[in-house]
């Protein structure tokens, strides 16, 4: 029923982690292939000729690109277990809206924290905290963004949790101090096997960024 499932990925990518979590939630067996982004495989370039990026999900030889699109695809194809999007169209639209907000804001702002210094870094930190607070507000009294159950927006956001340590070290601040409810939510998610097995180790991410900065010539 499953067919052949392959994921072209890169271990620190929060986008790849989303797809790993969705596959794990649905208990889908798949082949994980690590890409070297400085030397992209012929398969990656063939399967994602438009953007040439990971993650790429390949199902029965056919590629699906863009992490949120992959998560929706996985949810629709394996619709007999662990639903990620709610059945109600308004709740679906709300989940999509906030997942899109995460895509528009968190990655770039977080990146500025380790790529820049001084005023630019401070401005990014301020805006990142504001965005995380907005997201925290969406939780309300629920254990997950999906409500009682882990869902689409939880999958979209939780991979950033393993990058928070890096953001905090470079930005010299504590996300837990600013957004305690959000961190409580992240820790709750980490108790799920699908999340714990999919996220990278936060210290390894930090080391990766230190090396990346050197390689890119950023002080």
Partner 1 sequence: MSKAGLVLLDCWVSPFCMRVKIALNEKGLQYEARPEDLFGGKSDLLLNSNPIYKKVPVFLHDGKPLCESSIIVAYIDETWSSPPLLPSCSYARAQARFWADYIDKKVVFDACGNIWRSKGEVPVEAKTEFIEILKQLEGALGDKEYFNGDTFGFVDIVAIPLTCWFFALEKIGGFSVAAECPKFSSWMKRCLQRESVAKVMPDPEKVYEFVLMFRKMQGID
Return the number of the residue (38 or 62) whose C-beta is nearest partner 1: 62
List strand residue ranges (DSSP E) for 60-111, in order. 62-65
- What is Dmax (Cα atoms) for the chain? 54
Report the C-alpha gap between 97 and 93 in whole angstroms: 6
Return the number of the residue (134 or 218) whose C-beta is nearest partner 1: 134
Closest approach of partner 1 to the CB of residue 76, in Å: 4
Return the number of the residue (50 or 215) whose C-beta is nearest partner 1: 50
Q: In b/e form, how buried is each residue of 120-139, taking b as 16+ CB within 10 angstroms?
A: ebeebbeebbebbeebbebb
Report the C-alpha gap between 198 and 14 in whole angstroms: 10
Strands 5-9 and 31-34: parallel
Return the number of the residue (43 or 184) whose C-beta is nearest partner 1: 43
Closest approach of partner 1 to the CB of residue 50, in Å: 6
Contacts to partner 1 by CB under 8 A: 50, 59, 62, 64-66, 69-70, 72-73, 76-77, 89-90, 92-93, 96-97, 100-101, 134
Closest approach of partner 1 to the CB of residue 200, in Å: 25
- Helix count (H) and strand count (E) of the chain? 11, 4
How many CB atoms lie under 10 A from the CB of residue 19?
Answer: 30
Report the C-alpha gap between 56 and 33 in whole angstroms: 10
Closest approach of partner 1 to the CB of residue 195, in Å: 23
Return the number of the residue (92 or 181) whose C-beta is nearest partner 1: 92
List strand residue ranges (DSSP E) for 66-152, in order. none
Closest approach of partner 1 to the CB of residue 16, in Å: 17
Return the number of the residue (99 or 124) whose C-beta is nearest partner 1: 99
- Which token pair is 177? 């101090």
Closest approach of partner 1 to the CB of residue 56, in Å: 11
């Amino acid at each position: 029923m499953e067919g052949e499932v392959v994921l072209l990925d890169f271990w620190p990518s929060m986008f790849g982690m989303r797809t790993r979590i969705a596959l794990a939630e649905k208990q889908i067996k798949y082949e994980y292939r690590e890409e070297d982004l400085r030397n992209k495989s012929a398969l990656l370039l063939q399967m994602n000729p438009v953007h040439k990026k990971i993650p790429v999900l390949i199902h029965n030889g056919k590629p699906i690109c863009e992490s949120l699109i992959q998560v929706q695809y996985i949810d629709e194809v394996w619709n007999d277990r662990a639903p990620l999007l709610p059945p109600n169209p308004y709740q679906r639209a709300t989940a999509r809206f906030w997942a899109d907000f995460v895509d528009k804001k968190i990655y770039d702002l977080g990146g500025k924290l380790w790529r820049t210094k001084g005023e630019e870094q401070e401005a990014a930190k301020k805006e990142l905290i504001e965005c995380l607070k907005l997201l925290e507000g969406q939780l309300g009294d629920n254990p997950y963004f999906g409500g009682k159950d882990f869902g689409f927006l939880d999958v979209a956001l939780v991979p950033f949790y393993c990058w928070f340590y890096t953001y905090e070290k470079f930005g010299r601040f504590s996300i837990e101090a600013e957004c305690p409810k959000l961190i409580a939510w992240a820790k709750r998610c980490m108790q799920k096997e699908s999340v714990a097995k999919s996220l990278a180790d936060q210290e390894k991410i930090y080391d990766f960024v230190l090396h990346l900065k050197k390689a890119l010539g950023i002080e």
